A and B are shown apart, each in its own frame.
Chain A
């Protein structure tokens, strides 16, 4: 049976080809192929959105950050270095933007609220018209989200960052290490402690 560490290593090996493709796309974009950016954007838009959406309190903030991060990617494309992975570079920009956001607004990250489940499901409105959620289900979704947000807010910042990048944005340890500037083993440790702590909190509140 594979251990968790083996699973992570296998997944990271499998992503080597993806990183090569990303770099080829990035190079193509820098060489004038606009479609290459569209492909990169399509690859990472959902992962970036999930990371930002789970990191801030409301959708408007997430939208602002989401747009800003992509604009920085465009404006700073010449700064990209092929020594790193595109996803690491992208989330380095996202992380810096998050830091700026916290500093400028003096807000505590991840302030959860269970008040408005519609806000959490912005793109499911069409489906909701066809099959509207029952009041009970809506309450459950809001409760789930509130529990997760509250639990995340209780984690130390470094652990929360690792958990969000790995479990929400789907990043590997190496990718997180590149984005945060920490060594792989440090990321691994923070992730392990963060997940264990999160399980304890969620288990206690469920």
Chain B
């Protein structure tokens, strides 16, 4: 395994802000809460700060659960339809 290397923290913030700006400019405001780029950008932004590993893990856990919720919401009705309905 490679030795972990710490990149300069501000770049994470710059990248995250750039992604957030792009999404805010190009997506409908009402859909931003479920935009995966926004979630990943927020997670990316957390890397700009010195966080304890446990805190970073919790941030990853929160981001993953949130994204899983978005995914499950979108696909579950279709799964149920494929199991249920004759075509």
Q: Do A and B bind each other?
A: no
**Which residues of B are interface residues toward A (Cβ below 8 A)?**
none
